[in-house]
Amino acid sequence: MTTDSAFENGTARSRRSRWILLGSLIGLLGLIAIGVGVGVGVGVTRHNSNKSANTSSGASNGNGAASNSSASGDPVQSNPNDPSTFAKDPNLHQSFYALAYTPAGSQLPTCNNSLEDVIKDIQVMSQLTTTIRLYGADCNQSALVLEAIKQTKVNMGVYLGNYPTPDDPTAYTRQRDLIKDAIQTYGTDHILGVTVGNEFMLNYLNANGATDPNSAVGDTGAAILIADINDTRSALQGMNLDKTLPVGNSDAGSYFNTKVLEASDYGMANVHPWFANVTVQTAAGWTAEFFDETNVQPAAKLPNKPKMYIAETGWPTFSSDAGNANNGASDASEANLQVFLDTFVCQANKNGTGYFFFEFKDEPWKDVQFGGVEGWWGLFHSNRTLKRVTIPDCII
């Protein structure tokens, strides 16, 4: 899943985390459709394509209710048939380097995502960032996101994701083919890279009773992943694209295998102060230091110097059980998400750190499946209303 500790040390919490991972593999029979994202958006210029959009209160939100976007969660369109005419919410600012995103309903076998829903997500996210990452490609999510970017005409780049599972080789090829289809249809203009693997090494090591990503067991898992990364690279090369798309990988911060990084153009590391049990007051500094020491410095020593990004960092606002409502140092709460936003976002921008804030909105399916804090990391509730937080206002 996505909210794992940046490291794993055999403690109760990490055992739980392991259970989550195994439970997810077994429970979903390798059919999980979430993906992993990687990379940082460069070369995407900012522009406002909706300057003339209508913000008058009382406009219809499409459900017949009179409201502003901040009240209903859904942006108001001055032309209901033109998703590019959505009104901007003055409470939102394009201050985030990037956001982690999974369209609702993108898990097999249910697969009930919808273009309409993704369009609304893109309308809101485009007011926070110009860059997003997906975790997987099942349920047509790459095409839905690219179609939504097209219809909303927003300035948005996306790292597509392929979420392979160690025990089911068809998961990789199925998603690769969906990604190829989406690229064929939409071109590469809004694609920043293709991320192959989400916590693949973490899952592989846990499933095989090992912890060191560079052990013999780690190298065995890495070979599977590297074959997929290489295959994606050749598939893209075979398409005669008008630009070369970087191919990368994403994993928990301390689970990168060196050979995997050597085969990747970029690496995306989950770095979670919550799971490291640090206080929210020290969370931003801890995140910066952990990422630099564990990911940035080691990657810089490799011959290919893969660019490193924080794939996920954030703070949960709620736990579905009392036992996980506090990480031993601070609570899961909106007040503490605010502290993390205020101490991390603009500071990381200033430092030039590429990060994907975790995450856009709450994910009810994760709460159903995993409980605890898993479903409650959104800046927004699942209905796209902003939580009780103030979005930082600074430049990237």
Residue of 147, 312, 363, 374 marked catalytic: 312
**Three-class SS of residue 268?**
strand
Using the rule CB under 6 A, is 226 a contact of ligand NAG?
yes
Q: Measured between alpha carbons, how far is 222 from 201 in angstroms, rounded to an integer?
A: 7
Is residue 184 near ligand NAG by the rule CB under 6 A?
Answer: no
> From the CB of 337, what's the least distance to ligand NAG, in Å?
14
Q: Smallest distance from the beta carbon of 29 to ligand NAG, in angstroms? A: 17
Nearest distance from C-beta of residue 306 to ligand NAG, angstroms? 13
| Choice from 24, 50, 72, 131 touching ligand NAG (CB under 6 A) | 72
220, 230, 244, 297: which one binds ligand NAG (CB under 6 A): 230
Determine if the peptide bond prior to 293 is cis (ω within 30°): no
**Helix runs in the chain, H state only:** 12-28, 69-72, 115-125, 141-152, 169-186, 200-207, 216-237, 258-262, 280-291, 297-300, 334-351, 364-370
Nearer to ligand NAG, 49 or 385 (CB): 385
Active site residue 199: yes
Nearer Cβ to ligand NAG (208/347): 347
| Nearest one of 261, 350, 353, 351 to 313, comparing CA atoms | 353
Pick out residues in 87-106 that bind ligand NAG (CB under 6 A): 104-105
Q: Which two tokens stand for residue 84?
A: 């590019």
Q: Which of 115, 235, 296, 302 binds ligand NAG (CB under 6 A)?
A: 115
Q: How many Cβ atoms are within 10 Å of 296's Cβ, its own excluded?
A: 17
Q: Note whether 263 binds ligand NAG by CB under 6 A.
A: yes
Size of the site for ligand NAG (CB under 6 A): 46
> Where in 42-71 is the site for ligand NAG (CB under 6 A)?
52, 54, 56-57, 66-68, 71
Question: Does residue 356 belong to the site contacting ligand NAG (CB under 6 A)?
Answer: no
The residues pairing with 326 across neighbouring beta strands, listed in sequence order, are 331
Residues 6+ apart with CB under 8 A from 82: none
Figure out which of the listed residues 151, 279, 282, 385 binds ligand NAG, where binding follows CB under 6 A: 385
Closer of 45 and 63 to ligand NAG (Cβ): 63
Residue from 8, 147, 199, 359 carrying the catalytic annotation:
199
- Between residue 206 and residue 225, which ones bind ligand NAG under the rule CB under 6 A? 223
The yes-or-no answer on residue 289 being catalytic is no
Euclidean distance between CA atoms 288 and 310, whole angstroms: 9
Separation of alpha carbons 76 and 61, rounded Å: 5
Which of these segments, 120-128, 139-147, 158-166, 193-201, binds ligand NAG (CB under 6 A)? 139-147
Q: Are 134 and 102 in contact (CB under 8 A)?
A: yes
The 3-22 site mask, x for binding ligand NAG (CB under 6 A), equals --x---x-xxxx--------
Task: Return the residue of 383, 388, 390, 395 that touches ligand NAG, per CB under 6 A.
Answer: 383
CB 180 within 8 A of CB 239: yes
Q: Which residues of 60-90 are buried (b: 16+ CB within 10 A; e: fewer)?
A: ebeeeeebbbeebbbbbbbeeeebbbbbbbe
Closest approach of Cβ 388 to ligand NAG, in Å? 10
**Number of helical (H) and strand (E) elements in the chain, helices listed first:** 12, 8
8 Å CB contact between 53 and 74? no
Handedness of CA 317, 321, 327, 328 (dihedral sign): positive
Closest residue to ligand NAG, judged by C-beta, is 11
The terminus-to-terminus CA distance of the chain in angstroms comes to 28
What are the catalytic residues?
199, 312
Binding site for ligand NAG (CB under 6 A): 5, 9, 11-14, 52, 54, 56-57, 66-68, 71-73, 78, 104-105, 110, 112-113, 115, 140, 143-144, 147, 223, 226-227, 230, 263, 276-277, 284-285, 288, 328, 344, 347-348, 351, 353, 381, 383, 385
